[in-house]
């Protein structure tokens, strides 16, 4: 969108401040985000991806309820809800979003100043702080009624159904790309049993359904510039019923990777065990006593599982002709899939070390 277009959309929202500028912002793969600067205040304006989120009203319903719940908890703990959670700016008509009838669906949040998200973990203690914040988020939502939330993307972390989606994409071979990815497909087929682990545990009841974030990428958390504390969790579009193993696992997928999510140099892609330990330490310190034995037992597998799932999703999108994730170069989704699979392999090799680390902090923080 041009600056004028952003301004036109932004003017529908109840902000009484003078518009100064608008710039594309952030590195998300789904929505389009802009930083809107006014004379005395700042905002993020987002165009929600309608293809991915088929029911944008449901997304906003969830975010409204979740942020209201979080704000009440933060206030009760003496915190500042304007910095510690997202705040929806209503339209001049009092809605949580604006639909322009054709181009799209927009929403505005107040911008948290003096904090930023990072595309990569630069300082291990930031990752430890992020773990504590994600675990705290989980705790804050413990009393929230999961039944009040819509499932904004059905089967989002159902790894079994993600595997089936990939098989369908292989069958259709819409973009004629199957022949290029035989070894990646073989890699996935060899690990098909992995898809069942958490899905089965949920079904048999040993892993409980909780309200989870479901997209706990390190760049979905704001780190305070002054203190290094992880203060605010953003990107609440997929807050839904799920397993804590998805949240813990997705943070590890993105954050422990020594390379980039889409690194073409696979020698750079491996799991940094120092970061694995920092994250696990922070997470169990805050949430350990609330977890079931089976959840803890599956923690060493969670990073590998979600990395595998994400790799399958990138590969599926590559085969479908890049219709889901934004891409910035041809074969971008394939590069992403390959990097995820390299990370899966490395996590397999380090499984025993992961078990030992989880055990160490279980003994320290979980009392059974």
In this chain, which of 129, 238, 280, 316 binds ligand GN1, going by CB under 6 A? 238
Instruction: Please identify the residue of the shown chain whose CB is closest to the bound Mg ion.
Output: 235
Is the distance from CB of 316 to CB of 297 less than 8 angstroms? Answer: no
Report, in Å, the least distance between residue 307 CB and ligand GN1.
10
Give whichever of 138 and 340 is closer to ligand GN1, judged by the CB atom: 340
| Positions in 42-71 near ligand GN1 (CB under 6 A) | 52
What DSSP designation does 115 have?
Answer: E
Stretch that binds Mg ion, among 76-84, 86-94, 219-227, 306-314 (CB under 5 A): 219-227
In this chain, which of 184, 215, 247, 346 binds ligand GN1, going by CB under 6 A? 215
Residue 214 as a binder of Mg ion (CB under 5 A): the answer is no
d(C-alpha 357, C-alpha 349), whole Å: 14
Q: Return the SS3 of 33.
A: strand
Residue 302 as a binder of ligand GN1 (CB under 6 A): the answer is no
Residue 220 as a binder of Mg ion (CB under 5 A): the answer is yes
Give whichever of 162 and 191 is closer to ligand GN1, judged by the CB atom: 162
State how far Cα 291 lies from the chain centre: 21
Q: Which two tokens stand for residue 218?
A: 């390190």
Residue 29 as a binder of ligand GN1 (CB under 6 A): the answer is yes
Q: Return the SS3 of 20.
A: strand
Give whichever of 210 and 281 is closer to ligand GN1, judged by the CB atom: 210
Q: What angle do CA 108, 112, 117 make, to 5 degrees?
A: 100
Give whichever of 29 and 177 is closer to ligand GN1, judged by the CB atom: 29
Q: Which two tokens stand for residue 302?
A: 């969670």
**Residue 68 contacts by C-beta under 8 Å, 6 or more apart in sequence?**
none
Give whichever of 214 and 220 is closer to Mg ion, judged by the CB atom: 220
Give whichever of 235 and 277 is closer to ligand GN1, judged by the CB atom: 235
Report, in Å, the least distance between residue 53 CB and ligand GN1.
7
d(C-alpha 256, C-alpha 258), whole Å: 6
Q: Return the SS3 of 226.
A: coil
**Number of C-beta neighbours around residue 4 at 10 A:** 9
Measuring CA to CA, how many Å separate 328 from each of 29, 78, 174?
10, 43, 20
Binding site for ligand GN1 (CB under 6 A): 28-30, 52, 215, 217, 220, 235, 237-238, 261, 310
Residues that bind Mg ion (CB under 5 A): 28, 220, 235
């Amino acid at each position: 969108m041009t600056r004028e277009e952003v301004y036109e959309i932004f003017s529908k929202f109840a902000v009484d401040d003078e518009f100064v500028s608008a710039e594309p912002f952030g590195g998300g793969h789904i929505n389009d985000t802009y930083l809107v600067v006014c004379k005395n205040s700042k905002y993020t304006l987002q165009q929600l991806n309608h293809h991915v989120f088929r029911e944008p009203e449901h997304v906003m319903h969830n975010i409204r309820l979740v942020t209201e719940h979080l704000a009440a908890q933060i206030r009760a703990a003496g915190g500042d809800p304007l910095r510690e959670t997202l705040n929806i700016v209503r339209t001049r008509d009092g809605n949580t979003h604006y639909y322009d009838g054709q181009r799209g669906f927009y929403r505005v949040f107040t911008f948290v100043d003096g904090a930023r998200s990072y595309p990569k973990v630069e300082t291990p203690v930031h990752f430890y702080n992020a773990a504590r914040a994600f675990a705290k988020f989980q705790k804050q939502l413990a009393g929230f009624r999961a039944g009040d939330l819509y499932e904004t993307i059905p089967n989002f972390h159902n790894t079994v159904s993600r595997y089936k989606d990939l098989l369908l994409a292989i069958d259709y071979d819409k973009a004629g790309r199957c022949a290029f990815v035989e070894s990646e497909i073989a890699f996935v087929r060899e690990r098909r049993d992995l898809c069942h682990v958490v899905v089965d545990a949920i079904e048999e009841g040993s892993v409980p359904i909780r309200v989870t974030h479901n997209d706990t990428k390190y760049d979905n958390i704001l780190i305070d510039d002054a203190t290094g504390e992880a203060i605010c969790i953003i990107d609440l579009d997929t807050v839904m019923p799920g397993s804590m193993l998805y949240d813990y696992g997705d943070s590890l997928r993105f954050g422990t990777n020594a390379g980039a999510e889409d690194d073409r140099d696979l020698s750079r892609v491996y799991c940094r065990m120092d970061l694995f330990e920092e994250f696990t330490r922070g997470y169990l310190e805050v949430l350990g006593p609330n977890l079931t034995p089976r959840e803890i037992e599956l923690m060493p597998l969670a990073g590998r599982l979600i990395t595998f799932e994400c790799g399958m999703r990138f590969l599926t999108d590559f085969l479908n002709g890049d219709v889901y994730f934004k891409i910035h170069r041809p074969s971008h989704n394939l590069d992403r899939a390959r990097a995820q699979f390299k990370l899966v392999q490395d996590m397999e090799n380090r499984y025993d070390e992961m078990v030992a680390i989880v055990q160490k902090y279980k003994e320290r923080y979980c009392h059974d």
